[in-house]
Amino acid sequence: MEKDAVAAGNSEIGGLVNTTEIRILICYIMSSIPEPVPGQLLADVLHYEGLANYFEVSDAIAFLTEGGQLQIVDEKENTYTATASGKDVAQTLRSSLSVTVKERAYAAALKMMVRYKNEKETDICISHEGGHTFITCTAKDGDLPFMSVKLLVADEEQAQFVKNKFLDSKNLYSKIMELITK
């Protein structure tokens, strides 16, 4: 296929430089993930992974929404799902993308969704008390906190590291509950 997409920031081997392939990849991801996907985060993660230029992904999401392959679920959170038409595109044209690109994109999107969900369900507060730095991570059930973990850390940098680990961890609170109740 002809290169017709901007490749800036697309330094990885296998990065997509064709607008049609980027659109197919987005339909593939949106139809593979059963929950609404945040469009801007998807553009960030595909760009970060070197799979497609951020602006090309953003343009493709807008094009696919306008064309009826994607539908916006929540404008405030900028989340989308694939429509029946988008799922048909993904199913029909998925063989036009390499297995490696699909696997990398899908794995990155799943990781992004874990973090997105954790950010919505966790309050994280970094505080300084008596010359010490603490990080408090609180899991919420709706608006109610159901578990908090407060850790003494060395400094602000370590607090940010711990914060990122909490947000990237899948089922961390479930694992803690399992350990406590065994």
pTM of the model: 0.77
In a domain, 26, yes or no: yes
Q: Is the dihedral of CA 52, 57, 60, 61 positive or negative?
A: positive
CA atoms of 90 and 48, how far apart (whole Å): 22
In a domain, 7, yes or no: no
Query: Does one domain contain both 146 and 89?
Result: no
| Count of structural domains, the chain | 2
Expressed in angstroms, the distance from the first to the final Cα of the chain is 56
What confidence category does residue 11 fall into, taking pLDDT thresholds of 50, 70 and 90?
A: very low
What confidence category does residue 14 fall into, taking pLDDT thresholds of 50, 70 and 90?
A: low
CA atoms of 96 and 94, how far apart (whole Å): 5
User: What pLDDT sits at residue 53?
Assistant: 92
What confidence category does residue 17 fall into, taking pLDDT thresholds of 50, 70 and 90?
A: confident
CA atoms of 53 and 171, how far apart (whole Å): 31
Segments forming the whole domain that contains residue 146: 120-181
Residue-wise pLDDT for 60-94, tens only, equals 999 999 999 999 999 999 999 999 999 999 999 98
